[in-house]
């Protein structure tokens, strides 16, 4: 792991490379390498250290008691992993974190990181902003699932990504069964809300107007 990777993160803005190196090279911290398809953490595991994804990409998923999977997001390094939960009263991972490729993860000792933030208020300010942004992201995620119809969520996804690669993966992301996703997709095409252009999909704004109040 190269220090410049961490310096790219908003968490360490206004911190010199020398200061950061002195901190992360402490024996209290560790760097671990994961193969593709491994779990960095499981939902419910105790969160004892701050996890930083230094290289690679991961997928975060929630799993219900019945085994139903909901993909929350995919993350590309460099990135903090579930940072809002390290200092919570119930500091457990809210999701499974699975690697999508070979990854390197730096774990920072919780108490040492807290002390570091006290010595460098800029880092504390950056951290507070980051977890506030995460709260905003999660509130929007709740809005998607609680207030929007499946067709609206599907149109939102296509608006962002331009197409659907794997229906199973998108079904996990949207929190529905694959047949339900396929049916909604077929209906949107029949209604003229979606136009197929090869592998790409285009939203017809006029026909999709009925869903516009829900599309962000």
Q: So where are the chain's domains? A: 3-145, 148-211
Taking only the tens of pLDDT, the chain with its 216 residues reads 676 788 889 999 888 989 998 898 877 889 999 999 999 999 999 998 999 999 999 999 888 766 777 788 889 999 999 998 888 888 899 899 999 999 999 999 999 999 999 999 999 999 999 999 888 877 777 666 666 788 888 888 888 777 887 888 888 778 788 888 899 889 998 898 888 877 788 888 888 877 765 444
Token digits of residue 174: 């949207």
SS3 11: helix
Q: What top-level class would CATH report for the domain 3-145?
A: mainly beta
For 154, left (φ over 0), alpha (ψ -120 to 50), or beta? alpha
pTM: 0.69
Whether CATH 1.10.10.10 fits 148-211:
yes
């Amino acid at each position: 792991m190269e220090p410049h990777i961490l310096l790219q993160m908003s968490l360490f803005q206004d911190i010199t490379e020398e200061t950061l190196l002195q901190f992360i090279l402490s024996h209290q911290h560790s760097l671990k390498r994961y193969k593709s398809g491994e779990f960095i953490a499981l939902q419910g595991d105790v969160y004892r250290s701050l996890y930083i994804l230094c290289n690679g990409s991961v997928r975060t998923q929630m799993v219900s008691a019945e085994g139903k999977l909901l993909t929350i997001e995919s993350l590309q390094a460099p990135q903090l992993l579930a940072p809002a939960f390290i200092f919570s009263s119930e500091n457990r991972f809210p999701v499974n974190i699975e690697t999508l490729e070979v990854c390197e993860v730096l774990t920072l000792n919780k108490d040492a990181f807290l002390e570091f933030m006290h010595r460098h208020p800029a880092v504390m300010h950056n951290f507070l902003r980051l977890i506030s942004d995460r709260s905003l992201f999660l509130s929007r995620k709740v809005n998607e699932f609680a207030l929007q119809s499946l067709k609206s969520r599907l149109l939102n996804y296509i608006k962002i990504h331009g197409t659907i690669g794997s229906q199973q993966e998108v079904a996990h992301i949207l929190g529905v069964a694959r047949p339900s996703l396929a049916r909604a997709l077929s209906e949107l095409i029949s209604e003229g809300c979606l136009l197929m252009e090869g592998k790409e999909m285009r939203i017809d704004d006029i026909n999709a107007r009925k869903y516009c109040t829900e599309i962000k």
